[in-house]
Each structure stands twice: as C-alpha cells, then as structure tokens.
Structure 1
Amino acid sequence: MNLRVHPLSPRRRALLLSAAAGAVAPAALAQSSRAPARPLKVAQIHDASAAQQDVSKDFLIGSRAAWQAINARGGVRGRPVTHLNLEVDGSEASVRRALDSLRDDPACVVLSGTAGDPAAAEVVRQLERENLPIAHVAPWLQNSSIEVDERTFPIFAARQEQIGHALKSLMAVGIRDVGAVYASEADHRLYREDVERTAAALQLRLQGFPAHGDLARLGQRLTPGTPAILLFVGGTPELVQFTRGLEKQQRQRYLVALADVNLQTVMQMGGARSTPVIATQAVPMVTASLPVVRAYRETLARLFDEPPAALSLAGFIAARSTYEVLAEIEGPLTRPGVLAAFQRRGALDVGGFRVSFDPRRRSGGYVTQSMLTQDGRVVG
C-alpha cells in the first residue's frame, strides 16, 4: 500500500498513524486458510501526542513493515500475527487504558516496540506497579535513569550512551566546553540528569539552556560566551525552530542532536541552513550492508512510499528481534512462556544487529553518527 502524501504535512502523519493502527497484515488474511483460526497477537503502544508523533510515526512504520514481511513468509511457526497498535497520548491514564485492554486478552503474548521514550518509561513503571506478567520487548526507551525489571528488554542504546559517544568524539579534537539545549521543560526535567552525569564523567564543562517557550528566540539570544558546541535534547520540529534562531548569530555553532531527530526531515523543513548538525543513531546507518538493514530497505521500498530513516529502521529491528525469540519457543506460544523465553535469552543476533544485556538489563551495542552538512547532504 502506497500513501503518497507530503512527508511534512499533518495529513500525512494522520494517514500513516491511522493506517497502522489496529491493522491486520493483508498477508495474514491471505493465509488464513492455511493458518490456525486464532492468530497470534503482538501489541505495540505508540505515543501520538504532538511532542512524540514524529518519532512514533517512523518507528511504527518500520515495525509494521517487518510484521507484514513476517506474515508473508508464514508468520510465527505457521501462525499469522495480528499487529495490534494501541495509540496513547503520552499520559499516565492513556497508558493505563492501553495496558488494561491487554490484561485479559490471552491471545496477546508480547508487547513490542513501544514508542516514544516517555510512553516507554511509563509502560515500564506500570508493568512493575501492576505486576503484569508480559514481556516488554525492544521499547524506544531512551531515558538512562529508568530502572528496568525482569519484564522489560531494551535493545537500543539509551541517551546516556549516545551523549557519551558524541562527546567523546568532540573531546578527541580538544573540545572541553559544551552547552545543553533542552527543547522543553519536560525534556529538561526528564533528561537533565543523563546529560549532567555524562558530562561530569567525561570532565567536560557544561552549561544548560532550558527553553522557556520560543526556541527560535533562544537561538537568537545566545551570547558570545556560549559554547560553540551545543547538545540539543528534543525532537525534529524543535531542532528546526532552534536553528532558525541560530541563523541570526554571527558566531558559528555546531549542534549535536540525539536519536529522536530525523536529519532528512530537518533538511526538508528548511532547518540548519547555516548550522552543521550531527545526530547520533541507536541503529546502524540505513545504507549499511548488514542483512537486517538490507531486508529493511527492500521491505520498506516494497510496502511504503517512505525514504529509509533511522527511526523506522529501529522499529523494523524491534519487530524482528521479537520474532526471532518467538520463532524459537518450543511448545505453545503463551504469555508466560514468551516472558520466560526472553528472560532466558542472554544474547541475540538480528541480521548483524547484536543484542546482549548488561547487569542493568540493558543492551546498547550500536551508536552511530550522521552529519547534515550546510549544503544539505547527510553523511555518515
């Protein structure tokens, strides 16, 4: 199915989110005569709030593409997969309603690919508080400060790892002063600890700049004493607003963004015209030759009118990592059995994307960087 809508329009976002929500893959329906009557349900919670819809939309497209491809090859051990999408608005109450809808549905055996970060963190908290025994696999959990228990299995590098990777690169060329720009009060509250802890560990001098409203105005008001290197903690639209303010500055600035930012969209929105932007990614480059990346590009090109992007690759990998464990379970695919299988699994290779959990029950082997140059190119 091709949706040919301008990539930045609200209509495009609405169409893609609604098309993905609650959809049963057509391939699964086509195989219903050969598969068991009761399909296997895999639930995905996605945050469609204004602050997270860009992240969730891309992540959801990647996951949806993966499950459609899996169904086209026969599903999980011959059972078609219903990719059950649960839209939330990021609030505690909306996450609770989503989890309540799964509680009494035994056909739903796993929760996979929660996006974005605030919703993923809220799911972690509520699963532990309510003692709901379901595996929470490959969430887009960027907050390094969130403690995870035996139900949650993060496979992507968290924000602290991304910041550390980016700042170490700057240290290699003698940079000792860095600024941290927080796109909103919520970003400042959620992620300040991660940023300050990482900067202290690297012995960097850090200045914080929480936004109080207009990000373009904040960019205009930076003083000559502000560090030339600025770590930006926020999403793609907010980054574009901030760079428009930086265009008024005479001093050259360099922005380091994190994995929530889509550089292609920054370019399409006319941002960063005079400010180089470096973005960390928690997945391989979308041009990489790894088997999982090649499968992602082929599947995306076949099913969606969408360019490859790091966040949709992350969604694809989230679904594929879930499938790999489900496919190896012996015996009935039940919610307790699936949770036990993930708890036993110490390492996983998803087409070259390697997953192995540390003592904090996190895995984050991949951090890569791309740069948006002033002439509009994205280079690795």
Structure 2
Amino acid sequence: MTSREPVALRRRALLLSTAAAGIAPFALAQPGRAAAGKPITVAQIFDASPSQQDVAKDFLIGSRAAWQEINARGGVRGRPVNHLNLEVDGSAASVRSVLGTLREDPSCVVLSGTAGDPLAAEVAGQLQREPFAIAHAAPWLQNSSIEVDEQTFPIFAARQEQIGHALKTLTEVGIRDIGAVYGSPADHLLYRTDVERTAAALQLRLQSFVAEGDLARLGQRLTPGTPAILLFVGGTPELVQFTRGLERQQRQRYLVALADVNLQTVKQMGGARSTPVIATQAVPIVTASLPVVRAYRDTLARLFDEPPAPLSLAGFIAARYTYEVLADIDGALTRASALAAFQRRGTLDVGGFRVSFDARRRSGRFVTQSMLTQDGRVVG
C-alpha cells in the first residue's frame, strides 16, 4: 500500500463503509499472443490524488483493456506495446519528474490517455514550456480554457461543450434560472469561466454555490429561492454527499453533472435516492451498437471484472485512437514519426467515434446524456 492510499480511502469512507469503498488493485488479464518485433512503449500518466482517482481508475481500466487486446492481435505493425502506467500525485513536480524519465527513454513513442483533467492540463503546459517533442494523444482534457499546441491532441468534448449541451436542452423547455454547484474551491477556480460564459451565451440567470468542506450541509442550506435545476461541477463522491443534503429539502431538485461523474457508482454509493441526476458524456452510451462500443464491452468482459462505464469507454477509445494513428505510419515507428503523424490530424473514424480537429486544435464535439432515475435505473 502506498502512502497515498489511506487518504484516498478516507475520502470514500465519508460515504461508504471501508469494506464497500476500498479501491481494489487493477486486475491484470493474462497476456495475449506476443508480437514478434521490437517493443514500443506507450506511456499513460494518471493522477492518483484523492480528487482525481475515481476518474483515473476507470479511464486506465479502459485503456489497459484496449492495449491488451491490441497486443493479443499482434501489437502495432507486429511490434508489441509496453503500456507503461505512470502514477503521479497531480503536482507540477511529480509531472516534471515523470516527463524527465520518459524523455530519456527512446522506446517511448507517445503519451496516450492522460487522466484526469487537471493533470492533462499540467502535462500540456509543461510540454509547451520544456522541450520534449512527443505526441500527447487523447488526454482527458476537460478544461475549455486551456490552449493546446502542436503536441496535444484532445479528442473528447471539453466542459464548455458538455455544459452547452446540457443547458441548451434546458432552455428549449423554457428554463431560465439555474444554479451552479462547485464541489470544491479548486473546481470553482478551474471551471467557473466555462460555466459563466456558457450561461451568458444562452441568456440564463446563474447563481453559484461553492462547497467549502461539507457538501451535505451545503445541500441542506439551499433556500426555496434556489433554482430547481442545479449544474454540479465536481467528482462522484462529492456529488453523492451533496445529494444526501438535498434529501432533506422539501423542494424537488434536478442535478446536471458532467462527464467526470460515474452514475453507476453514484447508485452503488447510495446517492441520489430522491434527486434525479442527469450526467453528460463525451463518449457514446455504453449500450450503443457502434463497433467501438461493442468491442469495448466484449474486451472488458473478457479481461476485467468491471461493469461498463463511460469513463472506461473513454480510456478504451483513447487507446484505440492512438493505435490507429501509429498503425498508419509509413517507415520507422519512432517518437518523431509518431508526432508528425498526429500533427497531420486527419479525420479518423474509430469504430463509429469520429475524430476531426477544428481550428482550435480540438476534436471533441460529441456529447450525450444519461439519467439516474429515482428508482435507481441508468437510462440513456
């Protein structure tokens, strides 16, 4: 057990018993048929800090499933992939240390699927400030305000697109007042610009609430004048705490959460018993019939004892997108040739998930929604 695990467990223990809440180690499937060529390394950096571990865990499972399946089918152009998982604590120093190690490893040809959002933004920033010519492919980069350069290639819809999708749906049914609840001061600092900009563009009246510790207490303190529709910006455990406070409210509330929230986990943790929750997703519904989603479900069922979830589907798509670009390189597969291939940014169909970059160097436009009903069902 690492020194960080007790902190992470205490965070979940606020909501569940230790037995139910403990985070089990990632299970590894048996290796598949070995490819014959010289191995390449695909590095995935993930944030194991308490505020990001829920996102990182699911995302990493999806990526691991994809790379194990890719290796079982012969790797990338006959070369096996060493899927190198690198844990950081979210700090700039830990990111700098990891990038320094990778810079000295010539077998590492690409960074893929960095998770979660604050980490992805930190990696993107350090790649701009400190010379390291490597592609940063398909990170879970949710912050719309981050400028990306010729090394970072986001393929998932950022928070601005998710918020716009959710709020536009509300305006179409005549809603003009909305509340924004931030799970922590850090969330408020990172995402208030996206929320306020989108609300202003849709001519919505916005009230903001920032949690300073106990989210259940914040939920209890809402007044009758607080909007019935609340946009929640924060993680899954924080959302569960907040809904427990809302259970004591007489007025019915409706929560709109963003793609960092796992509705299945909300249900398992006993949250949202009296409050319907709608969550945006930057990937298709996990029950969709798209080829990439079917492949994800089949692979996950064979390799891991985990239920399908949007964030692990995102990790799977991130790996598949990285694979498709690498597999299409002519000539030697190196860090430089991989970066050049990603910089060409051609439109790519990843099993029905379309990747096509715009002038802002972002691809993510796909957003859908799922709902956790009061009777515990997750419906798309």
Give me the TM-score of the superposition, normalised by structure 2.
0.94
**Equivalent residues of 1:139, 1:318 under 8 A apart:** yes
- The count of corresponding residues between Structure 1 and Structure 2 is 365
Aligned residue for 2:337, secondary structure, equals: helix
What residue in structure 2 maps to residue 158 of structure 1?
158
What residue in structure 1 maps to residue 260 of structure 2?
260
Task: Give, as a single letter, the amino acid of the residue that structure 2 aligns with 1:234.
Answer: G
| Distance (Å, rounded) in 2 between the aligned partners of 1:316 and 1:15 | 19
Structure 1: unaligned runs, 5 residues or longer: 1-5
Which of 21, 26, 30 is the equivalent residue of 2:31?
Answer: 26
Task: Give, as a single letter, the amino acid of the residue that structure 1 aligns with 2:277.
Answer: V
Deviation string 1:275-323 (CA, Å, 9 cap, x unpaired) is 0000000000000000000000000000001110000000000000000
Q: Cα offset for 1:209?
A: 0.2
**Equivalent residues of 1:124, 1:148 under 8 A apart:** yes
| Distance (Å, rounded) in 2 between the aligned partners of 1:58 and 1:135 | 23
What residue in structure 2 maps to residue 218 of structure 1?
218
Q: Cα offset for 1:43?
A: 0.2
What residue in structure 2 maps to residue 57 of structure 1?
57
What residue in structure 1 maps to residue 143 of structure 2?
143
Equivalent residues in 2 for 1:280-359, closer than 5 Å: 280-359=280-359
Over 3 Å counting, the alpha-carbon distance change for 1:187 and 1:273 in structure 2 is same
Q: Cα offset for 1:98?
A: 1.0
**Equivalent residues of 2:135, 2:151 under 8 A apart:** yes
Equivalent residues in 2 for 1:1-380, closer than 5 Å: 13-16=23-26, 26-27=31-32, 30-31=33-34, 35-36=36-37, 38-380=38-380
Give the ranges of 4+ consecutive aligned residues of structure 1 lying more than 3 Å apart after TM superposition: 6-12
Aligned residue for 2:141, secondary structure, equals: coil
| Distance (Å, rounded) in 2 between the aligned partners of 1:118 and 1:8 | 27
Aligned residue for 2:278, secondary structure, equals: strand
| Distance (Å, rounded) in 2 between the aligned partners of 1:149 and 1:75 | 29
| Distance (Å, rounded) in 1 between the aligned partners of 2:41 and 2:129 | 23
Deviation string 1:301-355 (CA, Å, 9 cap, x unpaired) is 0000111000000000000000000001011111011000010132110000000
Q: Cα offset for 1:13?
A: 2.3
Over 3 Å counting, the alpha-carbon distance change for 1:349 and 1:9 in structure 2 is farther
| Distance (Å, rounded) in 2 between the aligned partners of 1:253 and 1:294 | 35
Structure 2: unaligned runs, 5 residues or longer: 1-15
Deviation string 1:220-240 (CA, Å, 9 cap, x unpaired) is 000111000000000000000
Query: Which of 344-353 and 249-258 deviates more?
Result: 344-353
**Equivalent residues of 1:354, 1:365 under 8 A apart:** no
Q: Percent identity?
A: 81
Aligned residue for 2:270, secondary structure, equals: coil
| Distance (Å, rounded) in 2 between the aligned partners of 1:40 and 1:228 | 52
Aligned residue for 1:305, secondary structure, equals: coil
Q: Cα offset for 1:11?
A: 7.5
Q: Cα offset for 1:14?
A: 4.5
| Distance (Å, rounded) in 2 between the aligned partners of 1:59 and 1:107 | 23
What residue in structure 2 maps to residue 3 of structure 1?
none
Q: Cα offset for 1:212?
A: 1.0
| Distance (Å, rounded) in 1 between the aligned partners of 2:247 and 2:17 | 24
Task: Give, as a single letter, the amino acid of the residue that structure 2 aligns with 1:26.
Answer: P
Q: Cα offset for 1:132?
A: 1.1
**Equivalent residues of 2:139, 2:155 under 8 A apart:** yes
Q: Cα offset for 1:83?
A: 0.2
What residue in structure 1 maps to residue 9 of structure 2?
none
Deviation string 1:159-191 (CA, Å, 9 cap, x unpaired) is 000000000110111000000000001000000
**Equivalent residues of 1:355, 1:365 under 8 A apart:** no
Q: Cα offset for 1:50?
A: 0.5
| Distance (Å, rounded) in 1 between the aligned partners of 2:259 and 2:17 | 19
**Equivalent residues of 2:278, 2:372 under 8 A apart:** yes
